[in-house]
């Protein structure tokens, strides 16, 4: 017999292929947002010229229609005169706090490795704006 709990578990089971596609989209978005933060007043056309690509290609990258690769990341670094800083954290169960804090705004700096979740206030980012 099917129970509501088991039905929900079946619905929430997402195939690995879909999880991978979702994670790729999130990473793509994060990279492009990082680049966008460095655009300043530059127009897509001037960046495209410096990178040796078309303005429409740059637009497609920012809209998600085209995917970024390492070569393009290097070209963006050169055109916008910045360097990517690569950072990571463990997604093991013991580090669940790190994932939660990254999804929310909080008051003041927190050392995730030693933080007590009750020692700081967490507000939903949608409520913060």
C-beta separation of 29 from 64 below 8 A: yes
Mean pLDDT, to the nearest integer, of 101-107? Answer: 44
Each residue's pLDDT tens digit, 30-84? 999 999 999 999 999 999 999 999 999 999 999 999 999 999 999 999 999 999 9
**Does residue 113 have a pLDDT over 90?**
no
Query: Domain spanning 15-80: which CATH class is it, in words?
Result: mainly alpha
Question: What's the Cα-to-Cα distance from 128 to each of 24, 34, 79, 92, 109, rounded to whole Å?
Answer: 27, 21, 33, 28, 17
Cα angle 12, 17, 23; round to 5: 80
The larger pLDDT score, comparing residue 123 to residue 40, is at 40
Residue 129 corresponds to which tokens in the numbers above?
Answer: 């704006």
Instruction: Please list, in sequence order, all residues whose beta carbon lies within 8 angstroms of the beta carbon of residue 85, skipping any fewer than 6 positions away.
Output: none
**Does residue 10 have a pLDDT over 60?**
yes
Report which of 118, 51, 122, 123 is spatially closest to residue 80, judged by C-alpha positions: 51
| Domain map (residue ranges) of the chain | 15-80, 93-128
**Does residue 98 have a pLDDT over 70?**
no
Distance CA 125, CA 76 (A): 29
The larger pLDDT score, comparing residue 43 to residue 119, is at 43
Q: What is the pLDDT of residue 78?
A: 96
């Amino acid at each position: 017999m099917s129970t509501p709990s088991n039905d929900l578990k079946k619905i929430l089971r997402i195939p690995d292929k879909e999880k991978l596609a979702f994670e790729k989209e999130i990473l793509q978005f994060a990279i492009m947002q990082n680049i966008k933060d460095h655009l300043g007043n530059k127009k897509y056309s001037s960046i495209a010229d410096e990178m040796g690509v078309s303005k429409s290609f740059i637009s497609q990258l920012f809209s998600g229609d085209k995917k970024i690769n390492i070569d393009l990341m290097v070209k963006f670094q050169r055109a916008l005169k910045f360097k990517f800083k690569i950072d990571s954290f463990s997604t093991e169960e013991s580090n669940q706090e790190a994932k939660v804090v990254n999804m929310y705004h909080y008051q003041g700096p927190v050392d995730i490795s030693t933080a007590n979740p009750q020692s700081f206030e967490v507000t939903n980012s949608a409520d913060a704006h």
